[in-house]
Amino acid sequence: MIIDLFISLSFYLVPYLIGRLFTQKPVFAWITGALTWFVLFFPISWICTATGLNFSLTIRAITVVLSILSLAKIIRNFTMEKPKIVIKDKLPILGLIIFSSLIYFLIWKRNTPYPLLVNWDIYEHITLANLISDGHLAFLTSKISDTFTVNSYSPIFHVLLSIPKILFQKSLWKNWG
């Protein structure tokens, strides 16, 4: 169960860490990181397909390396600048992150009872995230999965959803892994 909590936190933390390589503002860092991952997935997918590299291992290695670089940069900036941290100022954003992670954790955890009201929608998203984590990627979601018959969803959400699956090698849903 604790690994599921780490998986839910990584949905937000990995894009944030990558975005911190470019900006220090938290919201912009997450947005920049999410867009960076979206852009990175396409060439990585093409390179892995052309060279026969394992897509999941490549993404996992890149994620770990970039996260370590980002943490090193954050620590270096923190030690050089020695900023004053006012916890009261950080409470709203911290509360939002904790609330969002708990919602993600409660909806996507592996032992979620069946059926839920949003069951079909979750199944669609998990199907697409599983396919992306296996290296099947296209800009139009209808080209990746027959579950999506309309291109109403951008695959950016599914790319971010597939990163925790790739990192932790754990099924997004117990029965649909």
Q: Is residue 45 part of a domain?
A: yes
Query: What is the pLDDT at residue 166?
Result: 82
The pLDDT of 38-67, averaged and rounded, is 89
Tell me how many domains the chain contains.
1
Would you say residue 101 lies in a domain? yes
Domain membership of residue 24 (yes or no) is: yes
Residue 177 forms part of a structural domain = no
57 within a domain of the structure (yes/no): yes
Question: Which residue segment(s) compose the domain that 99 sits in?
Answer: 2-168
Q: What percent of the chain has pLDDT over 90?
A: 7
Q: Could you tell me if residue 93 is inside a domain?
A: yes
Lowest mean pLDDT, pick from 24-28, 59-63, 82-86, 162-166? 82-86
CA dihedral (73, 170, 61, 141) in degrees, to 10, reads: -100
Q: What whole-number distance in Å separates Cα of residue 30 and Cα of residue 172?
A: 22
- Assess if residue 26 is contained within a domain: yes
- 175 is a domain residue: no
